[in-house]
A and B are shown apart, each in its own frame.
Chain A
Amino acid sequence: MLKCNINGVDLEVPEGTKLIEAFLKAEQKIAHYCWHPGLSVAGVCRLCMCEIEGNPRLQIACNTEVQEGMVASNQSEKVKETVRWGMDFHLINHPLDCPICDQAGECGLQEQYMEYGQYTPSMAHAKVKKRKVVSLGSKVVLDSERCILCSRCVRFTDEVTKTHELGIFNRGDKSEIGTFHDKPLENKYAVNTVDICPVGALTSKEFRFKQRVWYLKDEKTVCPGCSTGCSVKVYHNQEGLFRVKPEYDAEVNEHWMCDEGRGVFDWVNRQNRQSYSVNAENMEKPSSSELKLILTAQQTVEEYESLFEYLKSSNKKVEVYYWKNNPDKFDDFDNLLIRGDKNPNTKGLLETAVKHDITLNPFSGFDGFESFEGDIWFILPENKAVYPLYEQYVEKALKLENNLTIFAVPKVKVDKTKKNISILPLKTYFEKDGHFLNFNGLKRQLKPGPLQVSSALALNEWVSFVKSDDFGDQVDLLSKRKSEGFRKKNEMTQTGGGL
């Protein structure tokens, strides 16, 4: 450990720490654009200037390693003046189209201008014109004029994905980010470039113009897209969920996530959900003593616990079937984040099953079910897109004559005259409490966010209903629970501003 002093704050940092990291660790403000903790040092924005004792020249903190006893500060007027001018140099050719720009509200330039801005612009000449609204591929749009050439995106494709699609072409103030014309930015991690872009130069086609970011709240959660279990932030408001961004997690995904995972918000939105229960009273009737249960690894450990406990205590003859997505691609891994196992909690399911001494039979369709007379519980996966046989199995299930209970997040279309089928809406990962175990057994906690479908319950909550005596009343109550009104509230005026 090295001792150093940052703006008068004494702290100890491990060897090899960059000065800028020490600044951030000491909770000192320091302007920066090009430096990103997950990428190599470029040192081109020249904003993280600081004074180091014993060095007459200002140094950039991102390319300086902390030395024993180093005393650094960025409080002097000289540094502040330099940073103000550094900001100005960034802005002289930057178009002021914040109103149109999707990044407005979370833009590095806006934020840092508040702190380090010059406020009296002295540039009175025509700005350099560059290309606008350039499609870099199916997911990302580029606006060269807004780009400050921090090179984060280029370094990302060079260092993280190693796909090398992006480059900075030309030189001087004509430099532009771009792809080579017949090789667009198409990789499975492309939208990360949008996240790391400190300005609005790169925007995501999916999220573009859907919402202004200040209308959104974020909720930290775990991506249920595959067994990697990246930590993510889900952005939502009363109208629903709008996007997912990665959250730093040193043990799992560091700063990144895959583009597939960015789609995990869609099935949470109420228009795609089973929003009411069908024939819930079936659950109350005395049922058969035999039960077949089909499940996937998309529920939390807590849900499996309570489910298995119930099965054990119910004195029924129970058979549990475990439905895997794509069994042949199940163990794939792309050496970065994406795994073939598209369930967030495979490890959790297997461990809980062992703990409760439950045998998991592989599920491969309803072929052996014809002679079976007892009850069937079918817990559908919430992320149905990764189950290629989903539609086929659901269709088959709906034709069964057994007393069938479907626990579903996605909409299930059912003939209402069929009294043997009951459908119970489930909560998604975004709405429930509990935890997942990822592929190597790391525990990741879910936090319940705002409920999107009011009658939805988590599996463990349904199980506790089933166990209780007044199941019917409870369901009635539940169906009367009104969906929360969702008029778009103006967050800014409500909180009294605070950009």
Chain B
Amino acid sequence: MSKAIESKLLTEYYDDPHYMSFEGYTKRKGYEVLKKAFKMKPEEIVAEVKASGLRGRGGAGFPTGVKWGFLPKNDKKRFLLCNADEGEPGTFKDRMMMEKAPHQLIEGMIISAYAVNAHKSYIYIRGEYTDCLRIVKEAIDEAYAKGLLGKNILGSGFDHDMDVYSGAGAYICGEETGMISSLEGLKGQPKLKPPFPAIQGYLKFPTIVNNVETLAAVIPIIEKGADFYKSLGTEKSTGTKLFSVSGDVVQPGNYEVELGTPLMDLIELCGGLKPGRSLKAVIPGGSSAPVLTADECVDATMDYENLSAKGSMLGSGAVIVIDDSHSMVDLLTVIMHFYHHESCGQCTPCREGTGWLEKLVKGILKGSGRVEDLDLILRVANNMKGRTICALSDAAALPALSFVEKFRLEFEQHIRTQSPVRERETTSHA
């Protein structure tokens, strides 16, 4: 097994503490790519991004160039929104990117805005990230002062305004239409699709919503060309990706590696498991991604295709490593509590189902569960999946399904030891 190395495309200069300032950023070739982009036609940039195979880094993995192509082909007002409402448990890459390189994000956004011909953009940052809010706001002011935002940027004739907007604590605002609702000053409840945001989004204007990392990744694509970007990663999952590794590893943190890197190598890169522990499971893409058992981890590679073939997903790239010291029942309770707490309450299956799942799992944890409850969890989760406006009910259902299916023995064991009386009752019925 070859040891993975970090391929720092976005995070190359993150060690430089001055990189976050305008001077530090321009010293490291900052805003050079923007000048190059302005010499290209917007359509060429879209074509380049499309050709690079860049996929959304926020969670869904939708090809960015294709998304941009959905915009109506006219000159009507449109918006670019940057989704920095990073709420997926286990994810902390956007926070680092904004804190360490706000100008990188701004540059990426100007290029993208130029490509989709949007004259106004918002960066929606989750409210808890007060530092990010301050840093990005200052960086935007700086950019305005240097003529990188506002009217006629760098003499290109392109006008662009940028603003930050603070969320206020709702996981669901990380969903693109939920974020649009929140930005419109409503509750952050996702909107019905169709119409899709690219047709009718923010205030019914065509809107493109992209993740921080996606927008930043546009820079190397324009700088080095789509072919170079494609040369990284696998055939269908191109480029590099930041993985937020947390949990039971020696050095948790953000690691930028090529897509397609074996999962075990990534864990190795983080210093491996804590001494004396063995791997039990890995959640490869944030808490909403189905869990992988230790056996499945062996040949898992971190790209969209391999993980979806394993029934999981790459998601936001939050790798939560779980060793044998943790109870899966306990962890599922934490996850179910999270989704119950964060369900926006709009669609019935999610509103009621998340609460129900939490009650069931909590019951098992507390010792009032029964073996039948495991089947009930599966049935409830299966009937929440794909039945709602947004993917939150899927996000709640998938971990429940995967935990119970893959660690059923452990769950049954837990029920037996915690509630032996009930267990006898149920078996006697059978």
Contacts and interface: CB of A to CB of B under 8 A. Distances in A.
Interface string B354-371: 111001100100000000
B192 A41 contact: yes
A49 B348 CA distance: 13
Interface string A45-66: 1110100000001100001000
Given A43-B192, A57-B386, A85-B383, A168 B352 contact: no
B351 interface: yes
Interface in B171-230: 187, 192, 194
B343 interface: yes
B60 interface: no
Contacts of A46: 347-349, 387-388
A45 B192 CA distance: 12
B72 interface: no
Interface string A214-238: 0000000000000000000000000
Contacts of A122: 376, 379
B48 interface: no
Nearest to B348: A89
B347 A92 contact: no
A174 interface: yes
| SS of A interface (majority) | loop
Contact of B387 (A41, A58, A92, A123): A58
Contacts of B347: 43-46
B345 A89 contact: no
Nearest to B343: A172
Interface string A125-151: 110100000000000000000001100
A416 interface: no
Contacts of A172: 340-345, 351, 354-355
Contacts, number: 88
Contacts of B342: 171-172
A31 B126 CA distance: 38
Contacts of A123: 356
Contact of B345 (A45, A49, A86, A168): A168
B346 interface: yes
A171 B345 CA distance: 5
Contacts of B363: 125
Interface in A85-106: 85-86, 89-90, 92-93
Most buried by A among B343, B347, B379: B347
Interface string A341-353: 0000000000000
B389 interface: yes
B351 A173 contact: yes
Given A170-B345, A171-B187, A173-B340, A43 B354 contact: no
B387 A173 contact: no
Interface residues of B, number: 30
Nearest to B352: A89
A125 B359 contact: yes
Contact of B348 (A63, A81, A90, A126): A90
A448 B366 CA distance: 66
B56 interface: no
Contact of B344 (A41, A82, A171): A171
Contacts of A175: 345, 351
B387 A93 contact: no
B349 A89 contact: yes
Contacts of A170: 345
B353 interface: yes
Most buried by A among B342, B343, B354: B343
A174 B353 CA distance: 13
A421 B231 CA distance: 105
B192 A173 contact: no
Nearest to A84: B383
Contact of B356 (A41, A125, A174): A125
Nearest to A123: B356
A147 to B, nearest CB: 11
Contacts of B359: 125-126
Contact of B355 (A43, A47, A90, A128): A128
A440 B100 CA distance: 69
B396 to A, nearest CB: 11
Top 10 nearest A-B pairs by Cβ distance? A175-B345, A85-B383, A125-B359, A173-B355, A172-B343, A89-B352, A171-B345, A43-B192, A89-B349, A172-B345
24 contacts: A42-B192, A43-B389, A45-B348, A46-B348, A46-B349, A47-B348, A58-B386, A63-B192, A82-B383, A85-B349, A85-B387, A89-B351, A89-B383, A90-B352, A125-B363, A148-B348, A149-B346, A149-B351, A171-B187, A171-B342, A171-B345, A173-B345, A173-B354, A173-B355
Interface of A: 41-47, 49, 57-58, 63, 81-82, 85-86, 89-90, 92-93, 122-123, 125-126, 128, 148-149, 168, 170-175
Given A89-B352, A175-B351, 8 more contacts: A43-B192, A44-B346, A93-B352, A148-B348, A149-B346, A171-B344, A172-B341, A173-B343
